[in-house]
Amino acid sequence: MRVHLAESLNDMPQIFREHLRSFEDLTTSYAAVRAGFVALALEKNRYATPFVEEARVLKAAASRAKAPNELLLMGEIRSGLVTAAGVSDKALGHLEEQNISEAIAALIKNFLEPAEKNFVEELVFRFLLTRGDTLGGSMRNFGGALAERKFTRSLISCLRLAGRRYWWQRARNAAWDASQNIDADIEIYVKGLSWVSDKGPRTLLYNLSVPMVGKNVDFCLFSKAHSEIAKRDYKEPANYLALGELKGGIDPAGADEHWKTAATALERIRQAFAGYNPAIFFVGAAVAKAMAKEIWRLLEKGTVDNAANLTDDNQLAAVGRWLCSL
């Protein structure tokens, strides 16, 4: 019978009890929810700054026109006119020049001309309306990005404190770089980490499409060095040491839905790796009481090996140390 490298994990004590005493420890506090919303608001303001500056420049340029039709002669603000007409950057790639010109003409006829002497203000308002919609779409997924960065920074800190050299993979081109003495902000660009534990080389890949699961898995820990791992290794269950799901949304209203998605993913992973028994873990930001009870039940049952509330630094560090020790 084939023996998997992670088989011995089942013989270990319930590691989650080192940082969790009961389901209540997993529950997200009101203070943590509030802090999460504040963090998202600050990020939204930061991301909105370029749009606000564009609007100011647009207003300054458009103010030179004495009538809405004169805006058509200003080639330097054509992109701004397109945006104000309600054409998003995503839609722009699907339209022909004639469609774009028609959208601008409709903007001038239906909105700018009726505004009379206030046509410049109307133009800027409509520009910001479209940009705001673009920002809103981006921010809906930004909670997950913030969560991934926080998880990454915590794990990197565990490696550095343990005196372990690590390598990180760039999200843009998949290249691997060695860690430096100063590694500020690299969590923004990371899509993988690699290090050598006391038991051998380890590589953690993010958002990986796992063939056996048939879906993307947020975190996959392999028993291979980053320089050795290849796509063919993804098809071999014995190469996986741990797989985990991360839910970074902080809104309590969406907690149950996030957990249903995560629970389904964790069960899918468990079934796909039956007989190999890699460790399975979960980290979440918005953990309601009922959700915490269900996670605790899975931990006690052994269906899930470890878990942490993303808003609790001690729990997150505990999971990081555990991953570094595998």
On whether both 91 and 130 belong to a single domain, the answer is: yes
pLDDT score, position 3: 41
Domain count, the chain: 2
Is 295 part of a structural domain of the chain?
A: yes
Count of helix runs (H) and strand runs (E) in the chain: 9, 8
Last residue of a domain, one of 139, 166, 181: 139
On whether both 264 and 189 belong to a single domain, the answer is: yes
Q: Would you say 110 and 104 are in contact if contact means Cβ atoms under 8 Å apart?
A: no
Q: Over 50: is that where the pLDDT of 169 sits?
A: yes
The residues pairing with 116 across neighbouring beta strands, listed in sequence order, are: none
CATH number for 174:
3.40.91.10
On whether both 298 and 228 belong to a single domain, the answer is: yes
On whether both 119 and 232 belong to a single domain, the answer is: no
On whether both 161 and 276 belong to a single domain, the answer is: yes
Domain that holds residue 26: 7-40+141-325
On whether both 95 and 14 belong to a single domain, the answer is: no
| Per-residue pLDDT tens digits for 59-115 | 999 999 999 999 999 999 999 999 999 888 778 778 888 888 999 999 999 999 999
Is 54 part of a structural domain of the chain?
A: no
DSSP state letters, 139-183: HTTHHHHHHHHHHHHHHHHHHHHTT--EEEEETTT--EEE--S--
Place of tokens 């998605």: 261
On whether both 194 and 111 belong to a single domain, the answer is: no
Tokens representing 222? Answer: 């392999």
Is 52 part of a structural domain of the chain?
A: no
On whether both 120 and 209 belong to a single domain, the answer is: no
pLDDT score, position 8: 44
Is 188 part of a structural domain of the chain?
A: yes
Q: What is the mean pLDDT of residues 239-249?
A: 93
On whether both 27 and 68 belong to a single domain, the answer is: no
Is 45 part of a structural domain of the chain?
A: no
| Per-residue pLDDT tens digits for 106-160 | 999 999 999 999 999 999 999 998 888 777 766 666 777 889 999 999 999 999 9
Q: Over 90: is that where the pLDDT of 295 sits?
A: yes
The residues pairing with 61 across neighbouring beta strands, listed in sequence order, are: none
Residue spans of beta strands (DSSP E) within the chain: 166-170, 176-178, 190-197, 200-210, 215-222, 240-247, 279-284, 306-309
pLDDT score, position 139: 63
Q: Which of 5-9, 68-72, 244-248 has the lowest mean pLDDT?
A: 5-9
pLDDT score, position 2: 37
Residue 319 — pLDDT band, cuts 50, 70, 90? very high
Last residue of a domain, one of 79, 114, 139: 139
On whether both 211 and 130 belong to a single domain, the answer is: no
Is 257 part of a structural domain of the chain?
A: yes
pTM of the full predicted structure?
0.77
Last residue of a domain, one of 139, 158, 181: 139
Place of tokens 């028609």: 102
Is 49 part of a structural domain of the chain?
A: no
On whether both 153 and 232 belong to a single domain, the answer is: yes
Is 1 part of a structural domain of the chain?
A: no
pLDDT score, position 238: 94
**Mean pLDDT over the full length of the chain:** 88
On whether both 294 and 148 belong to a single domain, the answer is: yes
